[in-house]
Amino acid sequence: MGGDELAYLSLAAQARLIEKRELSPVDLVEHYLRRIERYDSHLNSYITVCADAALARAREAEAEIAAGDYRGPLHGIPYGVKDQFNTKGILTTLGSPILADNVPDHDATVIERMDGAGAILLGKQNMHEFGKGSTNRFHFGQPRNPWNLAYHASSSSSGSGSGPAAGLCSGALGEDTGGSIRGPAWASGIVGLRPTYGRVSRFGAVMYAYTQDTIGPLARNVEDCAILLQAIAGHDPKDPLSSTREVPDYRSALTEGLEGLRVAVVSEMTWMENTHEEVADAVKDAIEVFTSLGATVTEVSLPLVKYAVPLQMLTSDADAAGVFVHKWLRTRWSDFDKGTRSRVAAAAMVPAAVYTRAMRARALVRGQILDAFGDVDALISPTSPTPLKRIEEAREVVETPADMVKNVLSTRRLCTFPYSIANVPVIALPIGFSSSGLPLSLQIAARPFNEEMVFRVAHAYERATPWHDKHPDLDQTMARAGISANLAAAGE
């Protein structure tokens, strides 16, 4: 099996080969480590690579499987995690120089569960500082898009999107507040799921937007995301906000089609004034696919979603500021990236009365979204209204109060923030490419704790289209950036 073929093989396919002992976990880990050494000095998808520990664990997994102790589809599978999750004895920086020497004494619950499933941690992946987005200067290297190094890898779980997309791991775990799983999935042309709030334990994951943060999977296809969610979902006594609901068999939903399902396009999140023609055309093509598969596609108006961006930033940023001001903002001001610092400092000045009113208004937005599910099974909208931008064009520079107002009123975030406020499950998956050869993406949302529905709809679309089989050729990506294959191998 060729290098790219093995690297881009789905997690599920790798698992079948490992179970039959036709693929060694050691060989798979070594293959990814070689690719990381060859390419990641330019992509910057990892902050810390756990090469020795991963190889040792791969040897253990191989011995366990040979002895008949096969644990399931993640046994022997190499994965990465956003460097926001505590890992015992392994550097956990949250993308900030403030925590450049932070080595936790415990694992996050999701790490424990992945370990229990037999998965192999390859490393900690790059991210926006403290998971807040808006980072301008990355302390551990600018995350770059595997399709074109001049373009960004999107919001805070950036390395957890580019890693699987570039064939540097089989899948990843990220964190999503306002779109930090879905954005990187869009940018890198893979699948990313924000589960229902409470579906996955957040213990040990260093969450700051306490009312909204979620942990979820990123992978090269829908089935792989279902496998990852299966491993990490479920109640955890260490997280009092984790749900006690039973975890269903997510992969069972993948066998069903769309016949008889009702799908609605959210007009305010799709046909916006700044929706790019290429995005609109890709959504229209996706609608035709859904219709051809037997779904009834209509349109729904949710006028309150237009308030989601300011309400989100007033509340989730204020949640974070409540931690940062006490811990570091006063004493480590100059150590923060300017983009992070400006958002948190502004949020620290939100009066309690305004925060309370914003939280009440969020409930109204959520209520309107939940009401829509009384008439339809799923809602759809683009993940971004515009194609990807170059890194320098995507930076958010806040120099004046007017800059902050512009960010708060940005319609760029209007595609992802409403589903975050509603705390519903929502998946992002590729639906084509822009004229620049960069991925376009669609979101599919369902009612709370109905992850099976988003998997069902997304999987049916994926099977009917070619996009999940498209992967970046990293040698070509490097060549476009003026980096020869020899230089890439040398990490220069």
Q: 10 Å Cβ neighbour count for 47?
A: 23
In the numeric block, the tokens 């040990």 are attached to 204
Closest CA to 57 of 111, 137, 11: 111
Asked if 379 contacts 442 with a C-beta cutoff of 8 angstroms, the reply is no
Long-range CB pairs of 248-254, under 8 A, 24+ apart, other chains included: 248/451, 248/452, 250/226, 250/451, 250/452, 250/455, 251/223, 251/226, 251/227, 252/452, 253/226, 253/452, 253/453, 253/455, 253/456, 253/459, 254/222, 254/223, 254/226, 254/455, 254/456, 254/459
What is the Cα–Cα distance from 256 to 459, expressed in whole angstroms? 9
DSSP H or E stretch at residue 171: strand 171-176
- 224 closest CA partner among 165, 153, 139: 165
| CA distance linking residue 187 with residue 158, whole number of Å | 9
82 is catalytic: yes
Q: Burial letters for 359-369: b for 16+ Cβ neighbours within 10 Å, e otherwise?
A: eebbeebbebb
Catalytic-residue membership of 406: no
Cα dist from 354 to 315, 357, 366, 396, whole Å: 9, 5, 18, 24
Question: In sequence order, which ranges of 262-351 are alpha helices (DSSP H)?
Answer: 267-270, 277-292, 308-324, 338-347
Q: Are 403 and 343 in contact (CB under 8 A)?
A: no
Q: Which two tokens stand for residue 272?
A: 């916006």
Tokens for 445, please give them. 């949302």
Q: Which residue has the tokens 């319609």?
A: 411
Q: How far apart are CA 418 and CA 180, in angstroms?
A: 13
Catalytic pick from 24, 82, 157, 158? 82
Residue 355 backbone phi and psi in degrees, to 5: -60, -45
**Does residue 410 carry a catalytic annotation?**
no
Buried b (16+ CB within 10 A) or exposed e, 146-164: bbbbbbbbbbbbbbbbbbb
- The catalytic position among 180, 242, 243, 381 is 180
Catalytic option among 134, 156, 170, 342: 156
Q: Which residues are catalytic?
A: 82, 156, 180
